[in-house]
Copies of this chain bind each other. A is one copy, B any other.
Amino acid sequence: MGKYVKSDIEIAQETTMKPINQIGEKLGLTTDDLEHFGKYKAKLTAETLKRVEEKENGKLILVTAINPTPAGEGKSTVTVGLGDALSLLGKKSMIAMREPSLGPTMGIKGGATGGGYSQVVPMEDINLHFTGDIHAITTANNALSALIDNHIQQGNDLEIDQRRIIWKRVMDLNDRALRNVIVGLGGPAQGIPREDGFDITVASEVMAVLCLAKDLGDLKNRLGKMIIAYNRNKQPVTVADLGAEGALTLLLKEAIKPNLVQTLAHTPALIHGGPFANIAHGCNSVIATNTALKLADYVVTEAGFGADLGAEKFLHIKARNMGVSPDAVVIVATIRALKMHGGVAKENLASENTAALANGFANLKKHVETVQSFGLPYVIALNRFNGDSTDEIATFKELCEEQNMQWSLTEVWAEGGTGGLELAEKVLEQIAKTDHSFTPLYNLHDSLVEKIETIAKNVYGASGVEFTPLAKKQLADFERFGWSHLPICMAKTQYSLSDDATKLGLPSDFTITIRELKPSVGAGFIVALTGAVMTMPGLPKVPAAMQMDVDKHGQAKGLF
């Protein structure tokens, strides 16, 4: 309090990074394994990815959290700090994280590269264009849109119903004016007029596909399966029907290679892919996680939002797809966020309030139970913020001990890996236990309705699920199209366990309403939408972009 706190970008720019070759050496990689992007970023070559496939897997640690609040939880910060702590303990460790989208970076202050002394660097590059992966995805997505409109313009052999094109264009920006547009105006030479809209790129199915593909062949196969529209007989039309999967794969042939960077403490990190955690599964790429498991003995990775969305999807979609499940789960909570879950308004968070903390603790407890229900061991990471009082921390300790919950106070934001040593040790203890085995909550041969009900009742605590007439019709259609075997990707507000963003803590006596379903057949899941899900954010009154600048030496300013 009162002392000068350095900003993330100041801390990052003060750090001397090691040349990326030296980071690769820690993993047994040579210069030839790396495709350099400047001195501090590299993609792993296709040959390298192939070569390491034969190696034994390391241990996988999944970092998830309570339901997020405006108070901030610091899940990425804990992910980075835990990786650094494991390194300090002499373990060969690595981090696997998502690539940030430019939209939020330019919209609302706050990046996705950790914070304080637990960051991945070069943070400016990672938060701006990085190695171009997201731009390649934007291009592939929109090339497909252009090919669809051109197909219709040139005769429409596939008899695509222009009122039933579900493939949208994308832009990696926050731009509300593009949510609903009409394209093809201006006369016969300018295309067919029709309704369209833009999502943010990270909501594109191409992003989800890239993140779930095992290799280039799998990528092409998945891209070919993506549904773009329905034809005049109401049958689905795929990318393969259009014949565009080769071109899309070509556009993504570099983007599929994971990106190697480092933490402030020089722990290697693969940052690759970043699908939305609502209409997609919200985890970094399978290729990055798989490769990290081959290169390191301990891999720390994270999933989007709280455990109800991110961890559930990580386990039911990504882990099942990889054939690898976490060896331990870390659940991040903060005193501030639990106080908000306990009913405190954001402006009153600075005041000590152990009663509210005890009240909000129920949110954490529910997520712990969820992780346990998957058969997985866990440790709670209480991520310390400057304003947390001694009494509040004591209350948190008591609450954990009452419930016999594993927990650790972490100070990785202020201290880097040193602040996460106890957490690391407790995680290693959990991994060493052998009495756990991963069990999905539903089977793939369950019906789509059964899968949705399982998630809603067991993970959210809902009393039941309602389906709108549209959703019911789609359930019947999707079964007819042969998509029933796919897992579910729930699109629900991240702020509440329920589908009502205002219900914090542990809501009870609520039902979940499924408004609409969306096939992501290429990614390999059916999206179930509850309420309105924003797939193209808007900019605030004063966008973060207004503070951004670069000095004449090319140094980024005002990025965070």
Contacts and interface: CB of A to CB of B under 8 A. Distances in A.
Chain B CB count within 10 A is highest, among A181, A189, A547, for: A181
Interface string A48-87: 0000000000000000000000000000000000000000
B552 A216 contact: yes
**A interface SS class:** mixed
Chain B CB count within 10 A is highest, among A36, A150, A217, A243, for: A150
A355 to B, nearest CB: 37
Given A102-B139, A150-B538, A249 B549 contact: yes
A146 B540 CA distance: 11
Interface string A162-201: 0000000001111111111111111001111000000000
A251 interface: yes
B176 A559 contact: no
Interface string A476-504: 00000000000000000000000000000
A550 B177 contact: no
A247 interface: yes
Nearest to A125: B254
A428 interface: no
Nearest to A171: B142
A356 interface: no
Interface in A452-498: none
Interface in A23-52: 35-39, 43, 46
Contacts of A250: 128, 548-550, 556-557, 559
Interface in A521-560: 538-539, 541, 543, 545-550, 552-554, 556-559
Interface stretch (A129-137, A308-316, A321-329, A433-441): A129-137
Given A135-B129, A146-B173, A246 B539 contact: no
Contacts of A511: none
A173 B142 contact: yes
A244 interface: yes
Contacts of A295: none
Given A36-B38, A247-B546, A177 B154 contact: no
Nearest to A555: B253
Interface footprint category on A: 35 or more
Contacts of A545: 143, 147, 244, 247
Given A216-B554, A548-B246, A191 B173 contact: no
A149 interface: yes
A26 to B, nearest CB: 20
Nearest to A192: B177
A553 B176 contact: no
Contacts of A177: 145-146, 149-150, 153, 183-184, 190-192
A106 interface: yes
Contacts of A147: 539, 543, 545
Contacts of A251: 128-129
Interface in A219-266: 220, 243-244, 246-247, 249-251, 253-254
| Number of copies of this kind of chain in the complex | 2
Given A154-B541, A189-B176, A250-B548, A46 B129 contact: no
Contact of A132 (B132, B246, B253, B538): B132
A217 B549 CA distance: 11
Given A191-B177, A246-B550, A35 B35 contact: no
A129 B186 CA distance: 30
Contacts of A139: 102, 129, 135, 172-173
Contacts of A106: 143, 247
A180 B175 contact: no
A545 B37 CA distance: 27
A365 B189 CA distance: 36
A541 B147 CA distance: 10
B253 A556 contact: yes
Contacts of A176: 149-150, 153, 184, 189-191
A143 to B, nearest CB: 6
Contacts of A559: 250
Interface of A: 35-39, 43, 46, 102, 106, 128-129, 131-132, 135-136, 138-139, 142-143, 145-147, 149-150, 153-155, 171-186, 189-192, 215-217, 220, 243-244, 246-247, 249-251, 253-254, 538-539, 541, 543, 545-550, 552-554, 556-559
10 contacts: A38-B43, A135-B135, A143-B545, A150-B543, A180-B186, A181-B183, A182-B185, A247-B545, A247-B549, A249-B549
* 6 residue pairs, one from A and one from B, having the closest CB atoms: A246-B549, A177-B191, A135-B135, A180-B186, A36-B36, A247-B545
